[in-house]
Amino acid sequence: MRPRRISGGAPGSPGGDVAGGEGPELAEGERRTVAGGSAPATTPRRPPDPLPLGRVAVMSETYKLPDLSYDYGALEPHVTGKIMELHHDKHHAAYVTGANTALEKLAEARDKNDFGTIGKLEKDFAFHLSGHVLHSIFWTNLGPDGGGEPSGPLLDQIGTDFGSYDKFRAQLNQAASTIQGSGWALASWEPASSRIVVQQVYDHQGNHGQGTLPLLAIDAWEHAYSLQYQNNKASFFDALWAVACCAGVARRLDSAKGASIPVK
């Protein structure tokens, strides 16, 4: 958490964080020279002015980086520990910081009634928040005990919506492999029609249906694979299935089926 600056004195000055500040505050008993003479005057310390109603003094860290439930090297040889460490500790962490920063700047814009940069702030917030959410799902989609085909209601739903698990995998892999630039391939629950759909997402937040709930995420950004697979990203997507945690996807599906969008 970091303090929000309140209008007043110059930034960085001892009185710069107080509304209507009139120069540095002095501790009780300190002496200040009176203008026009040499006689010292004692200036007692005064408390900060109260915050206006609705003003937030400190913005909490709304979004936090989740811990991995396995070691960095647990997915080797399919994904190296070095990639996992950089991906989680640097890239994902940056999206968490970006989402919190954008949220704080939006609060400041509201406080000042200054929306001159609202377009950039909303775009930044959507980008970083979506990056945080999709990475959080991505980590839970993988695990050292993953691999194999799903079973039960998840397999039944995939069969209904795609014809077979092999057809589902083929479509998801192709969606990931053919992204222009950076993005994700998602298998998501679409509550308006009660089915699983595959979506090709640009960056983190573009080109997907509103109201859909991600179940399985494949990261197609270069930072996810280039250190190990160079430009052969299709091999990376194939390798992910060897550590894909179908049990986690099944739990997400069970939870997502409780959502409803009354659009009919």
Instruction: Tally Cβ neighbours within 10 Å of residue 26.
Output: 16
Domain ranges of the chain: 80-141, 152-256
Where would I find the beta strands (DSSP E) of 130-242? 183-190, 195-202, 213-219
Where helices occur in 10-92 by DSSP H, the ranges are 81-86
**Across the chain, how many H-helices and E-strands are there?**
8, 7
Global confidence as pTM: 0.75
Q: What CATH class has 80-141?
A: mainly alpha
| CB neighbour list of residue 50: distance below 8 Å, 6 or more residues apart | none
Return the closest-CA partner of residue 2 out of 105, 94, 93, 88: 105
CA dist 194 → 141, 206, 210, 249 (Å): 21, 22, 14, 16
Task: State how far the Cα of 167 lies from the Cα of 101, in Å rounded to an integer.
Answer: 41
The second-level CATH assignment, the architecture, of 152-256 is: 3-Layer(bab) Sandwich (3.55)
Per-residue confidence of the chain (264 residues) as pLDDT tens digits? 333 333 333 333 333 333 333 333 333 333 333 344 444 444 444 444 443 434 443 456 899 999 999 999 999 999 999 999 999 999 999 999 999 999 999 999 999 999 999 999 999 999 999 999 999 999 999 999 999 999 999 999 999 999 999 999 999 999 999 999 999 999 999 999 999 999 999 999 988 888 899 999 999 999 999 999 999 999 999 999 999 999 999 999 999 998 877 765
Quick one: which H or E segment has residue 21?
Answer: none
